[in-house]
Amino acid sequence: MNQATLVLVKPDGLKKSLTGNILTRLSETKLEIVATKMARVSRELAADHYRHLKGKPFFDDVVKYLQGEFHDRRKVMAMVYWGNDAIKKVRDIAGSTNPEEADPVSIRGSYGRITTHGVFENVIHASSDEKDAEREIKLWFKPEDIIVDLYPTKEAVIKDLKTKSWA
Ligand code: IDP
Ligand code: MG
């Protein structure tokens, strides 16, 4: 069954210059990339992305981590991968959440670490099920940023919208 899944190269992945490596590893899946962008991450976006962790002792730290506060890289690379069984295929290559427990040949097992603060710096995010994938993709991307029709859309006419175009 075709599925979409959100992948983020987190700030530690960017700082360690792992983007090319991660894309190469994920290309083993034969999935299609249907959206990609570099994104600045506001506190609101990071907290919304990790809202299922609210109340955990490490919540504030993972929000700061995603914002790039620990890596001097205030951005992430966001992508939507699409194709048969996409969620599991990407999660398998990403590896388990805890990089010390992750399969050593997975991305997280190869490149992740646990900091002295106890944050799992695990290089990439990958959606864990279809419900999460839909929520996360809608959080990070607008419909027109994605080159396939994933979810229902509605038309909106926005009056007096201030926007930028090339000068
Ligand atoms: P996932 O990224 O494998 O789906 P989640 O439980 O959704 O795992 O957690 C989101 C992120 O929060 C993880 O990728 C990791 O960076 C961080 N995290 C999760 N659990 C812990 C923990 O117990 N200690 C420290 N950081 C954690
Ligand atoms: Mg998760």
Q: What is the pLDDT of residues 74-107, one digit of tens each?
A: 999 999 999 999 999 999 999 999 999 999 999 9
Point out the catalytic residue in the list 49, 52, 117, 125: 125
Q: Which two tokens stand for residue 89?
A: 């295929």
Ligand 1, pocket-test mutation among 61, 62, 65, 107, most atoms within 8 A of CB = 62
Decide whether any atom of ligand 1 lies within 6 Å of the 122 Cβ.
yes
Is the whole model's pTM more than 0.95, yes or no?
yes
Residue nearest to atom 13 of ligand 1 (CA): 97
Is residue 49 part of the annotated active site? The answer reads: no
Residue nearest to atom 6 of ligand 1 (CA): 97
Domain at 2-145, CATH class: alpha beta
The bound ligand whose nearest atom lies closest to the alpha carbon of 13 is 1
Q: Looking at this protein, which amino acid is placed at residue 99?
A: P
- Find residue 124's DSSP bridge partners: 9
Atom of ligand 1 nearest to the CA of 94: 3
Q: What is the pLDDT of residues 100-138, one digit of tens each?
A: 999 999 999 999 999 999 999 999 999 999 999 999 999
Query: How many Å apart are CA 48 and CA 8, to the nearest integer?
Result: 15
Ligand 2 centroid–CA 127 distance in Å is 6
Backbone phi and psi for residue 25, each to the nearest 5 degrees, phi listed first? -60, -45
Each domain of the chain, given as residue ranges in start order, spans: 2-145
Q: Which of 10-14, 27-31, 155-159 has the lowest mean pLDDT?
A: 155-159
- Furthest-apart CA pair in the chain: how many Å? 53
Closest by CA position to 71, among listed 139, 119, 35, 20: 119
Decide whether any atom of ligand 1 lies within 6 Å of the 108 Cβ.
no
